[in-house]
Chains A and B, each alone.
Chain A
Amino acid sequence: MNVQFKKGVLDLCVLAMTAQEDRYGYELAVIISGKFDIAVGSVYPILNRLTQEGYFTTYLQESPGGPPRKYYRLSLEGRMKLEMLTEEWRTFTAAVNEWIEEGQR
């Protein structure tokens, strides 16, 4: 995937992944890195930044048969940000799709 595309949508994807359920860092890091071909270790700085910006709250929760894991929960600000980014994404892709179809006609 084109790099310019990736940058813009990483935040959106991370926020979207936590919309339904709280997730722990490992899950997010592995899935995001697998989909976008970025280093697994680079996902944690993104999670950190989004937490610092107030879009996530974090808490520790016991895991079955292991030490506790750090979970990320979308805050109210996070949900608003997600909504905003989703809206932007829809507008953007709608415009692009229109041009592509135009070109195929």
Chain B
Amino acid sequence: MSTSRQYLMIMEQELREVPEPLRREWLADYAEHFRIGIENGQPEEEICRELGDPRVIAKELKLNNRFELVKTNGNPVHLVKAMLVGTSLGLFNLLFVLAPFIAVSAVLIAIWAVVVALFAGALYAAGQGAFGGQYKGLTGFAFAFILVGLGIIVFIAARALTKGFVRGTAKYLQANRRLLREGSSRSV
């Protein structure tokens, strides 16, 4: 089997979970690269060496795609996945990325806790209104309404902050990751 075929097969294997039109497009880029290189009279082994480790390149492609996804949907689960892949590639400086990330995440979690507390409080006040207790009747319901209103406001703010933070982190990581060096899988 030729070296280029082997290279492309490894890549295809690494990209197996990528949905179809995208995967074929990516592989076609590298197939075309081999074709033109061979037309230009370059030895296949040399083309492979210059391209770099197909496993690492495949991971780079997937990582890029994940970040694009996170930037459009702002989903924190996707962000964490992308961060894990990037970290496994050794592309991020963990200390500088992880510490601020955890700090801001903690603040966001606290804001979400406030949302939960407000809604729980509303439920409690409504219960008191309905069944009597500290705040009877209308007083209980009035409290419940106020708390629901506050809950909705904080909820909207928390959601916007979370999305903004996730998108911002994705952009930051994409701009600050390390690059692969020519001819090997070393990163700089």
Contact = CB atoms under 8 A, between A and B. Distances in A.
A86 interface: no
A33 B184 CA distance: 13
A67 B61 contact: no
Given A3-B179, A52-B68, A41 B52 contact: yes
A45 B64 contact: yes
Given A41-B51, A42-B52, A52-B68, A67 B35 contact: yes
Contact of A29 (B33, B65, B180): B33
Contact of B182 (A25, A40, A45): A40
A39 interface: yes
B175 interface: yes
A44 interface: yes
A42 B26 contact: no
Contacts of A3: 178-179, 188
B95 to A, nearest CB: 17
Contacts of B30: 41, 44
B35 A45 contact: no
B54 A26 contact: no
Contacts of B178: 3
B179 A7 contact: yes
Interface string B65-103: 100100000000000000000000000000000000000
Instruction: Give the top 9 A-B pairs by smallest Cβ distance, nearest first.
Output: A39-B52, A41-B51, A41-B57, A41-B52, A26-B36, A40-B50, A39-B180, A42-B180, A45-B60
